[in-house]
Amino acid sequence: MIMTDKQWIDLIAIVNGEKKQPLPIGFIIDCPWLPNWYGINILDYFTNDELWLKANFKAIDTFPEVMFLPGFWSEYGMCTEPSAFGAKCVFWKNEFPFAEKIIHTSDDISKLKLPNPQTDGLLPFMLNRLVKAQPVIEKLGHKIRFSVSRGPLNIASFLMGTSEFLTTMMMEPEATHQLLRIITDFLKSWHKIQRDTFPTIDGIMMLDDIVGFVGEEEFLEFGYPYLKELYDVNAGVKLFHNDADCAMSVKYYPELGINLYNPGIQMTAKDLIEGTKHKTTILGNIPPRDVLAAGSPQDVKNAVKDLLAGMNDTTRLMLSCGGGMPPAVSTENIRALISSAQK
């Protein structure tokens, strides 16, 4: 959510197709990586605003060459948005939180009420954390730049269960549209509240891996129209994360307005750039688990070299891992990626 003025100007240039040297680097960072890297448990990261702030500043100070996206992400893992719908949220000391489903049959969808993001679930806590931290953040030269949420299909999968949601999508399209309509209206309100609270916001970021679980026909019916609505905002950067298979959907991302995409590793960065007809900048896509987390610094350097092999034009590339930063990535491996990019 937070970046310096220079970083933001550079990011706008990158998504507009301007070439930057050295090769720009960005990482999506949140609770899977940041707390343990900083040396605290996940529950402390969620419940202690001072530790949350210090952990984010430590990342920025340690890796000044990197743009961290969205930056100072105020979040409660996958519980963030489902909590507003009344989902029971389970928090362990040092494991990722989990939201229990609240829709057990399609009949329950009609009982679902549109949440108020200003008062419901964990959203007021998420927003207030940023409000309280804003003076310190801005004093140190950063500004809040992104409104953030999971995407509509992703939230639906938490409210219903992934298998159940996908089955309902195939068997009961009307009920599926009813659910996605409620979630999309909620998300439009939630992003607007974030933008209204922080006028410095000029970016939107959504994460929706379920988009990669469906075929092209299903994406066009159940994904495209709702994502199109949500990305139809006045924003300089429109970032989308889907690290599941995007072969069936990626060609449509420019039409949705997405100008920065964080993929998985199913397709090469070169193929992704070509798949979007050089209209969307790719934020990726070094293997996150097997290389960046489990590999050696030399493995990371080799992976960067392999990614760049055959790419005559890196204008639409922002080097990152495939997906968000995974757990257990070391400082040494991040520095290896930075040094490779700078060469």
Domain containing 196 equals 2-342
Which residue from 128, 163, 124, 111 is spatially nearest to 49, judged by alpha carbons? 128
> Which two tokens mark 242?
């889907």
Q: What is the mean pLDDT of the chain?
A: 96
Which residue from 140, 143, 154 is spatially nearest to 184, judged by alpha carbons? 154
Half-sphere exposure of 7 (CA within 13 A, CB side): 21
In the numeric block, the tokens 């599926």 are attached to 176
- The pLDDT of residue 2: 61
Is this structure's pTM higher than 0.85? yes
CATH number for 280: 3.20.20.210
pLDDT in tens, 190-220: 999 999 999 999 999 999 999 999 999 999 9
The answer to whether 149 touches 30, Cβ cutoff 8 Å, is no
* DSSP element (H, E) containing 298: helix 297-308
Amino acid at 297: P
Asked whether the predicted pLDDT for residue 5 surpasses 80, the reply is yes
CA distance 79 to 86: 10
Asked whether the predicted pLDDT for residue 21 surpasses 70, the reply is yes
CA angle at residue 311 from 305 to 315, to 5 degrees? 110
Which residue from 240, 308, 316 is spatially nearest to 273, judged by alpha carbons? 316
Over residues 320-339, mean pLDDT: 97
pLDDT in tens, 26-58: 999 999 999 999 999 999 999 999 999 999 999
Measured CA to CA in angstroms, residue 238 lies from 73, 78, 119, 131, 233 at distances of: 16, 21, 26, 23, 9
Measured CA to CA in angstroms, residue 333 lies from 23, 56, 304, 307, 328 at distances of: 17, 18, 12, 16, 10
- The pLDDT of residue 310: 77
- Tally of structural domains, the chain: 1
**Cβ-count burial 145-180 (b if 16+ within 10 Å, e if not):** bbbbbbbbbbbbbbbbbbebbbebbeeeeebbbebb
- DSSP code per residue over 58-105: HHHHH-TTSEEESSS---BTBTTTGGGGT--EE--SSS--EEPP---S
Share of the chain above pLDDT 90, in %: 96
Which residue from 42, 181, 163 is spatially nearest to 101, judged by alpha carbons? 163
